[in-house]
Structure 1
Amino acid sequence: MRNLNGKTVIVTGGGGGIGGATSRRFAEEGARVAVFDMNLEAAQKVVEGIRAAGGVAQAFQCDITQRTQVDTAVAAAEAALGPIDVLVNNAGWDVFKPFTKTVPAEWDKLIAINLTGALHMLHAVLPGMAERKTGRIVNIASDAARGGSSGEAVYSACKGGLVALSKTLAREHARQNITVNVVCPGPTDTALLAGVAEGARDPAKLLEAFRSAIPLGRLGQPDDLASAIAFFGSDDAGFITGQVISVSGGLTMHG
């Protein structure tokens, strides 16, 4: 990937499956990676792996639903690693049940993590990018936002909002050389998917149904997503903004 060497990258939810793979991929490309996660132990484990491979990374504990924590973590990351060049809004959470079976407390948590958390991060990072007139933002949504997904109504709504937000920010900041793009994972072999499956009547049957529905015949792996995310964060994608790409093995083929 062009021009990632020496860049400073924040990855939220960086201690998880997709976030960890993304953090490692950016580090492999020579970037300095700030691994944000509310689970500091998970973030530190990712950082240890990056450093063992010769990369540069630092862990930061951050609950993205809390603006004061976001501001503190962003300031600490910039002090340690330099001004933020790339922001990857990856942190997310889901609950798998029909909408009428959900309760308002679940809506609040879903919105706080999947939408408001990204707003906090964007609001904290964008002013610096705008002042420097450069930046890359990659928001991780979901194919649930593009085609709907039974049992994920509020999650889908949040991710749909993130897609719309991304397109608007792409327009607002294009003249400042800031690109904003979206990666939509399909079913991916992560702890989040495992948690969704556990809520099903027959978890093994549900996972097999996902595999069978995917034209390429397998679940996505975190590294599949990391490649697309790193591309959007690099100068190889310097003339691409406001776009949404599905990484789903062909499960969805939106125009």
Structure 2
Amino acid sequence: MVTGSTSGIGLAIARRMAEAGYPVMLHGLASASEGSALVEEFQERYRVKCGFSSADISSEEGCIQLVADSREALGHPAVLVNNAGVQFTAPAHEFPADQWQRILSINLSSAFFLSRELLPDMRESGWGRIINISSVHGLVASENKAAYCAAKHGLIGLTKVLALENADCGVTVNAICPGWVETPLIQPQIERIAQEESVDLDQARTRLIGAKQPLAKPTKPDAIGSLVHFLCGEHAATITGASMPVDGGWTAQ
């Protein structure tokens, strides 16, 4: 099960897992027809079982619904990737309460509720993987991101607690902390810099990424997918409770 997997990093993770033969439960804000088309594509391209749910995971009830949808489509998920996330920026003294609650609910609470629902079966079977897609902002802070940083720092704390609580039963829990990732979300920022500073798009991309990352290029979504796949494999069996930066040196400074 990969939350927020109809686009971006989540979709790249889902594709990598399907390539490796895992049945995949897709989840996101796509319409029913878009979800069905994506399921059909996965089944034809990767020859794996696939399902889709648009459950609203901003609430406990929505998380429980997603688990029910997944069990109906595929059976018990032995791998949970908590990837769904939203963002809003403003100074803390101007931050709207509804945006604070929305970010905490989707970026943090959903990971707790989904883990809580799936852990009993993982523990009973003696194997499971929970991988939380945190952020470089789970390790360091940036201005105007009070809710996002609080949620992503909290996700790392949750990762550590769940790793300790389930170390006796073959269940590992880890967090991945990406910096800049090459998704459509960064393109408007690149174009703005290009216009404001009269440089080409490649130079603008380097300036945007390099302002925070010594390695001034973004990570490919496929790289995050490959790391998730590795964490599910036998060579990662003793990696648990870890927070792994994939950030071009951002947090090394």
Give the Å deviation of 1:72: 2.6
- Structure 2 counterpart of 1:162, which letter? L
* 1:176-215 CA distance string (max 9 Å, x none): 11100000110112244457x49x9x45568553322333
What's 1:146 paired with? 139
* 1:115-154 CA distance string (max 9 Å, x none): 1111121111111111222100000111011011222121
What's 1:3 paired with? none
Give the Å deviation of 1:156: 0.4
* 1:52-74 CA distance string (max 9 Å, x none): 32332221121111222322321
- Structure 2 counterpart of 1:226, which letter? G
Q: TM (normalized to structure 1)?
A: 0.86
What secondary structure, in the 3-state scheme, does the structure 1 residue paired with 2:167 have? Answer: helix
What's 1:14 paired with? 5
1:49 aligns with 2:41: yes
Range with greater deviation from structure 2 (39-48 or 217-226): 39-48
1:209 aligns with 2:202: no
CA contact (8 A) 2:180 2:218 kept: yes
What's 2:83 paired with? 90
| Residues 1-150 of structure 1: pairs in structure 2 closer than 5 A | 10-40=1-31, 43-56=35-48, 57-150=50-143
Q: Which runs of 5+ in 1 are unaligned?
A: 1-9
Range with greater deviation from structure 2 (91-100 or 165-174): 91-100
CA contact (8 A) 1:170 1:179 kept: yes
Give the Å deviation of 1:23: 0.3
CA contact (8 A) 2:206 2:217 kept: no
Q: Which runs of 5+ in 2 are unaligned?
A: 197-203
- Structure 1 counterpart of 2:217, which letter? R
Cα distance in 2 for partners of 1:55, 1:48 equals: 10
* CA 1:248–1:102: 2 relative to 1, 3 Å: same
Q: How many residues align?
A: 242
Range with greater deviation from structure 2 (56-65 or 185-194): 185-194
Larger radius of gyration: 2
* CA 1:194–1:111: 2 relative to 1, 3 Å: farther
What's 1:5 paired with? none
* CA 1:208–1:70: 2 relative to 1, 3 Å: same
CA contact (8 A) 1:135 1:179 kept: yes
What secondary structure, in the 3-state scheme, does the structure 2 residue paired with 1:70 have? Answer: helix
